[in-house]
Amino acid sequence: MNTAFSTRDLSVGYNRKVLIQGINIDLAPGKILTLIGPNGAGKSTILKTITRQLEPLSGSVYFGERSLRDISGKEFAKQTAVVLTERVHPEMMTCAEVVAMGRYPYTNLFGRLTEEDKAAVQSSLERVHALDLASQDFSTLSDGQRQRIMLARAICQEPEIIVLDEPTAYLDIRYKIELLSILRDMAREQKTTVIMTLHEIDLAMKVSDDLLLLDGERVCAYGTPDELITSNDIEELFAIHSGSYNLLFGSVELPKPEGMPKVFVVAGNGKGTPFFRALQKQGTPFAAGILFENDVDCQTAEMLSDHVIKAPAFEPITDNQISSAIKMINGCQYVLDAGAPSGPLNRANRELILYAQKTGIPVLTDLKGLP
């Protein structure tokens, strides 16, 4: 495999004290590697080591076929762009001048920019939607604006490898998506190799080719998102004991309400999820059914309730499942009709609503009727 970046038995840490050891990475050109783990897991320490801010405690780092130790400072500056979380404080510089710093590895001894350099500055600002900031004093920017300008500086450098520590920090959702899209495009179109850390696990799953999972003591796993990530992996890695991580939606669900269910939610086709979360927010324990196992409602319901009546996907609902649902309804004070569409396979859910109406159990279509 043509390798753009690799490590061999790398150990990192501070003051000769090893934090993480046995780090082995092989990353091809144009691939994106994201480091994931809780705060203090060693993500930034690894990035600082591979960008020469910290010395490796043991092992080796390679850029292509060359050891990091054999690459000169100027070569490294041309090859690798670095965007870390430490604040930079350039004095009396406009945003265009900060971005132009990315061209300095290519300029002459006097640091003069050519027309080609100036065009690269303009293009980089345009790519991060920051042309309107070009003449503004960098020190006056918001945190999110600074992040975009620092990315523009890295793009302007035209690196083979770009290293970023929490690049989406301080950005609103629009700019998070745009920034990651830019990185994805750079990787695909220019074969730029990207190594970064992210806290947004759902975004990391979508943008990354490889993930490195760290828990502060060791590398827990290294591989593609599909190979590594399950909801349980995330819960264990981040020690989520109160609540759960929903891999399908890329979100953390709050703890299940305790106690026997007071409301039975007839749901399906995603219609029940807003009600499940609203009931959880109120602290009202609920039951749900009858849900097919491939329905998004089933995924959320199981995160928020211990009382879910399920049916295998693409199979008709059985008499036993209907009996279990009726038994659950008889123990509830209300039935909530979430408005799920009815078809040949789940027609029994309409029967559950009719049963509740016949037996005098109030049937609601919203939560206004709940005490």
pLDDT for position 248 = 59
DSSP annotation of 270 = T
The total of other beta-carbon atoms located within 10 Å of residue 316's CB is: 12
> Selecting from 3.40.50.1220, 3.40.50.300, 3.40.50.12780, 3.40.50.2000, what CATH number does the domain 254-364 have?
3.40.50.1220
Same fold, 5-236 and 254-364: yes
Express as a percent the part of the chain with pLDDT over 70. Answer: 91
Secondary structure of residue 301 in the 3-state scheme:
helix
Confidence of residue 229 (pLDDT cuts 50, 70, 90): low
Mean per-residue pLDDT for 256-262?
92
Mean per-residue pLDDT for 322-332?
96
Mean per-residue pLDDT for 218-238?
75
DSSP annotation of 24 = E
Mean per-residue pLDDT for 192-198?
95
User: Is pLDDT above 90 for 244?
Assistant: no
User: Is pLDDT above 60 for 215?
Assistant: yes
User: Is pLDDT above 80 for 295?
Assistant: yes
Write the CA distances from 295 to 16, 251, 268, 291, 298, integer angstroms. Answer: 52, 17, 7, 7, 5
Furthest CA-CA distance within the chain: 89
User: Is pLDDT above 70 for 241?
Assistant: no
pLDDT for position 77 = 84
The total of other beta-carbon atoms located within 10 Å of residue 333's CB is: 13
User: Is pLDDT above 90 for 308?
Assistant: yes
- In this structure, what is the dihedral angle of CA atoms 359, 362, 366, 370, given to the nearest 10 degrees? -140
Q: Which residues contact 82 (CB under 8 A, 6 or more apart)?
A: 51, 154, 162, 163, 164
Residue, of 102 and 24, whose pLDDT is higher: 24
Mean per-residue pLDDT for 354-363?
96
pLDDT for position 73 = 87
Domain spans, the chain: 5-236, 254-364
pLDDT for position 85 = 66
Q: Which residues contact 173 (CB under 8 A, 6 or more apart)?
A: none
User: Is pLDDT above 90 for 6?
Assistant: yes
pLDDT for position 169 = 82
pLDDT for position 347 = 87
Residue, of 263 and 174, whose pLDDT is higher: 263
Q: How many Å from the N-terminal Cα to the C-terminal Cα in the chain? A: 63
Confidence of residue 22 (pLDDT cuts 50, 70, 90): very high
pLDDT for position 67 = 94
Distance between CA 185 and CA 170 in Å, rounded? 22
> Average model confidence (pLDDT) for the chain?
88
User: Is pLDDT above 90 for 170?
Assistant: no
Helices 143-156 and 173-190, packing angle to 10 deg: 10
Confidence of residue 86 (pLDDT cuts 50, 70, 90): low
DSSP annotation of 131 = G
The total of other beta-carbon atoms located within 10 Å of residue 248's CB is: 12
Express as a percent the part of the chain with pLDDT over 90. Answer: 53
pLDDT for position 110 = 60
Check if the beta carbon of residue 64 is closer than 8 Å to that of residue 79.
Answer: no
User: Global pTM?
Assistant: 0.74
Distance between CA 78 and CA 102 in Å, rounded? 9
Q: Which residues contact 238 (CB under 8 A, 6 or more apart)?
A: 38, 245
The amino acid present at 216, given as its one-letter code, is: G
DSSP annotation of 258 = P
Write the CA distances from 145 to 87, 166, 170, integer angstroms. Answer: 12, 14, 9
User: Is pLDDT above 90 for 233?
Assistant: no
Confidence of residue 245 (pLDDT cuts 50, 70, 90): low
Check if the beta carbon of residue 287 is closer than 8 Å to that of residue 328.
Answer: yes
Check if the beta carbon of residue 162 is closer than 8 Å to that of residue 194.
Answer: yes
Scanning 33-142, the segments in alpha helix (DSSP H) are 43-50, 73-79, 95-100, 115-127
Q: Which two tokens stand for residue 116?
A: 């080609």
CATH number of 5-236: 3.40.50.300
User: Is pLDDT above 90 for 249?
Assistant: no
Mean per-residue pLDDT for 261-268?
96
